[in-house]
């Protein structure tokens, strides 16, 4: 019953507010994209167009506000890259052998890119970026809580069922992608209950990645933690805390997880586990498609349709985001997607390491959080096909929001938000006074 009440309240309440404040609609839409209420509470929430109701309202609200602000500042390249990827997907769908499958991919990606555009055009203050980051990792943290409760109850739901339409491996990548945000927020916060909430979500997500038995997820988890530690300002106590965290992860992993992870690399005889070896063959086959169809690829979501031509069963995924996108959309499509994430990371790096001034100290922290999250995602995505996983796009939106606000002079209001001045450094949660 609580799930039904929550879903209806967020759907219709969020839609009503989104007509006036479209960014609130973005938060609700992102929350629904992660939680998937119909999958989370299937016994009480009937099938419905909950996200669509919110999407229509937030688009209407943005139109009413004059389409938001298209002054993207340092985020301009990010927006151009995602629009180019969207356009190239449509071109490839037009030329695809199976039009319904090709345009089906364009429809799925449009449901991500349109809210992304609303988000980046309606982000006005640091508070907005903070709210988006917390929405992402708290929603993913709640899913991790449900996975942990099932696991401790004796059934590893995440490993054997996954969640929603995606399996354990894709869910592990979603957890890793959000974990960098929660870990960074926990390190930054000074208010004890917010720090506990952020670190609690981090612990739940990290443990869920371990019992998902996804080797790509485990690799991404390690990279996220390492990048966070490298980028963060450190004191002696942080080295001790990092050591404790590593030992805790090793203890929680247990022998079964360690054995599973060890099969990622070749054994003493130079042989890989069968599933790991099959991934290498799949990657080779994707590269073969890329070299034969370098411009337009085989067509959006067409690798499963041509997998049988390479001796795989029909419908077989390639177990790699990057090479599968290259096989389906050609080198231009792959370049657009890689540039989308790469521009975010490269442009955030000077902020993260304090090479340039920012109008609010939180923006530097936000840059570190996003870089750590996307680093873990980029590595783990090499092992799983996650073409329309939404979490990475929204984490990138956090980064784009940081970039957009990073060019504002200290104390200056955004030209489109005269009534919403940039918070002073002491005004955001967890800042030093």
Residues 274-325: tens digit of each pLDDT:
566 788 899 999 999 999 999 999 999 999 999 999 999 988 999 899 999 9
Distance separating alpha carbons of residues 89 and 112, to the nearest angstrom: 13
Same domain, 54 and 156: no
Distance separating alpha carbons of residues 119 and 394, to the nearest angstrom: 9
Distance separating alpha carbons of residues 169 and 263, to the nearest angstrom: 16
Q: Which of 18, 35, 67 is a domain's end point?
A: 67
For residue 353, the model assigns a pLDDT of: 87
Please indicate, yes or no, if residue 148 is contained in any of the structural domains. yes
pTM: 0.88
Domain that holds residue 44: 1-67
Residues 99-137: tens digit of each pLDDT:
999 999 999 999 999 999 999 999 999 999 999 999 999
Q: Which of 44, 67, 90 is a domain's end point?
A: 67
Same domain, 98 and 43: no
Same domain, 9 and 108: no
Q: State the CB neighbour count (10 A cutoff) for residue 40.
A: 18
What is the per-residue DSSP string for 200-236? Answer: HHHHHHHHHHHHTT-HHHHHHHHHHHHHHHHHS---H
Handedness of CA 89, 93, 94, 100 (dihedral sign): negative
Same domain, 57 and 134: no
Please indicate, yes or no, if residue 365 is contained in any of the structural domains. yes
Q: Are 299 and 306 in contact (CB under 8 A)?
A: no
Same domain, 108 and 51: no
pLDDT band at 270 (very low <50, low <70, confident <90, very high): very low
Split into its structural domains, the chain has a count of 2
Same domain, 3 and 106: no
Please indicate, yes or no, if residue 252 is contained in any of the structural domains. yes
Coil/strand/helix, residue 44? coil
Same domain, 81 and 61: no
Please indicate, yes or no, if residue 184 is contained in any of the structural domains. yes
Please indicate, yes or no, if residue 433 is contained in any of the structural domains. no
Same domain, 127 and 25: no
Please indicate, yes or no, if residue 432 is contained in any of the structural domains. no
Q: Which of 39, 67, 95 is a domain's end point?
A: 67
Same domain, 85 and 113: yes
Same domain, 16 and 106: no
Residues 58-77: tens digit of each pLDDT:
888 888 776 777 888 899 99
Q: Taking the mean position of all CA atoms in its chain, how far away is CA 375?
A: 11
Bridge partners (DSSP) listed for residue 166: 163
Same domain, 323 and 283: yes
Q: Taking the mean position of all CA atoms in its chain, how far away is CA 416?
A: 28
Same domain, 38 and 78: no
User: In 3D, which of 367, 378, 406 has the Cα closest to residue 320?
Assistant: 378
């Amino acid at each position: 019953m609580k799930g039904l009440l929550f879903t209806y309240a967020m759907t219709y309440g969020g839609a009503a507010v989104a007509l006036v404040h479209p960014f609130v609609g973005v938060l609700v839409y992102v929350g629904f994209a992660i939680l998937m209420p119909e999958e989370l509470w299937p016994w009480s929430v009937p099938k419905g167009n909950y996200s669509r109701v919110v999407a229509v309202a937030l688009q209407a609200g943005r139109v009413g506000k004059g389409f938001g602000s298209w002054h993207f500042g340092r985020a301009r390249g990010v927006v151009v890259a995602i629009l180019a990827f969207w356009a190239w997907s449509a071109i490839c769908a037009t030329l695809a052998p199976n039009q319904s499958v090709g345009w089906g991919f364009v429809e799925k990606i449009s449901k991500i890119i349109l809210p992304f555009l609303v988000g980046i055009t309606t982000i006005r203050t640091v508070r907005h970026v903070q709210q988006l980051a917390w929405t992402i990792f708290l929603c993913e943290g709640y899913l991790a809580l449900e996975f942990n409760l099932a696991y401790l109850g004796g059934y590893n739901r995440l490993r054997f069922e996954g969640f929603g339409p995606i399996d354990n491996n894709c869910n592990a990548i979603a957890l890793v992608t959000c974990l960098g945000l929660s870990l960074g927020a926990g390190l930054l916060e000074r208010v004890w209950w917010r720090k506990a909430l952020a670190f609690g979500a981090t612990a739940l997500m990290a443990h869920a990645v371990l019992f998902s038995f996804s080797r790509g997820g485990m690799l991404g988890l390690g990279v996220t933690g390492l990048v966070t530690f490298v980028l963060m300002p450190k004191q002696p106590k942080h080295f001790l805390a990092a050591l404790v965290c590593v030992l805790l992860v090793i203890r929680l992993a247990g022998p079964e997880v360690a054995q599973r992870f060890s099969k990622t690399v070749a054994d003493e005889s130079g042989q890989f586990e069968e599933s790991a070896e099959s991934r290498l063959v799949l990657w080779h086959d994707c590269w073969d498609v890329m070299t034969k169809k370098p411009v337009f690829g085989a067509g959006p979501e067409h690798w499963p349709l041509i997998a049988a031509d390479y001796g795989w069963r029909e419908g077989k995924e390639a177990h790699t985001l990057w090479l599968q996108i290259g096989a389906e959309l050609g080198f231009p499509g792959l370049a657009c997607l890689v540039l989308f994430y790469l521009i975010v990371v490269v442009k955030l790096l000077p902020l993260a390491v304090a090479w340039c001034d920012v109008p609010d100290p939180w923006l530097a922290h936000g840059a570190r959080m996003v870089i750590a999250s996307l680093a873990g995602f980029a590595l783990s995505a090499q092992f799983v096909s996650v073409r329309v996983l939404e979490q990475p796009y929204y984490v990138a939106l956090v980064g784009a929001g940081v970039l957009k606000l990073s060019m504002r002079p200290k104390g200056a209001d955004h030209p489109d938000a005269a009534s919403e001045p940039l918070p002073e450094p002491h005004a955001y949660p967890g800042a030093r006074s």
